[in-house]
Amino acid sequence: MLSKAFFWVVDHQTEFFRALGQHLLMSGVSMAIALAIALPLAVLIVNYGRFAFGVINTINGLRTIPSLAILAIMMPLLGIGIMPSIVALTVLALPPILLNAYVGLRDVDADAVEAAIGMGMSRSQVLRKIRIPLAAPAMFAGARTAAVQVLAGATLAPFIGGGGLGDFIATGIGMMDTSRLLVGAVPIAILALSTELILGRVEKHLFAESTTA
């Protein structure tokens, strides 16, 4: 069955790579948007603690909505196509990035922060020189979790006409053709797993010094 799927890909290379491209584009764009929203937001709510509770709970609330439901909600609002899929995937990526970044920034070594304030660092210097570098590993870990979730979550995009590798799965189910289903499922699994592995390696390499502190 796997070999049948493989030969289908060989025969339909344009179709396969277009779907793969859509999949990566959707995932990449929504990750970029989610990072651009969540990281500054985390910094903001760490500085203004009284908003943290509300923001964190709202984001956590979003997390309880199933991905498919988010896609369904987007359809009447944004129609079909790649845009609503990107919005839905962004919503999916926000919670892990925001929560990890917030907790990382908040739980930075309290003594280091006290020493920094006591020696005359301004609030923004404490953030730039102490909090962000020390929270960087947690921030990265959040982004890594989100990336894997988004790559896997993008599988559902075909339900609202978003395209991507999920198309083959939807078609496979529709035609009761398991080998066609595998054309989508196997690459998605490989993408998600290799992203997890590669980003894990990068994380270890980048933060070898500070994570063991």
Q: Which residues bind other proteins (CB under 8 A)?
A: 109, 111-122, 125, 129-130, 133-134, 209-210, 212-213
Alpha helices in 107-177 (DSSP H): 110-118, 123-125, 132-153, 166-175
Least separation, in Å, of the C-beta of 202 and other proteins? 18
CA atoms in the 13 A half-sphere facing the CB of 152 = 16
Least separation, in Å, of the C-beta of 115 and other proteins? 3
- Which CB sits closer to other proteins, 13 or 212? 212
Least separation, in Å, of the C-beta of 43 and other proteins? 17
- Which CB sits closer to other proteins, 31 or 108? 108
Least separation, in Å, of the C-beta of 49 and other proteins? 18
- Which CB sits closer to other proteins, 132 or 191? 132
- Which CB sits closer to other proteins, 49 or 118? 118
Q: Which residues of 78-106 are buried (b: 16+ CB within 10 A; e: fewer)?
A: eeeebebbbbbbbbbbbbbbbbbbbbbbb
Cβ 87 vs Cβ 44: under 8 Å: no
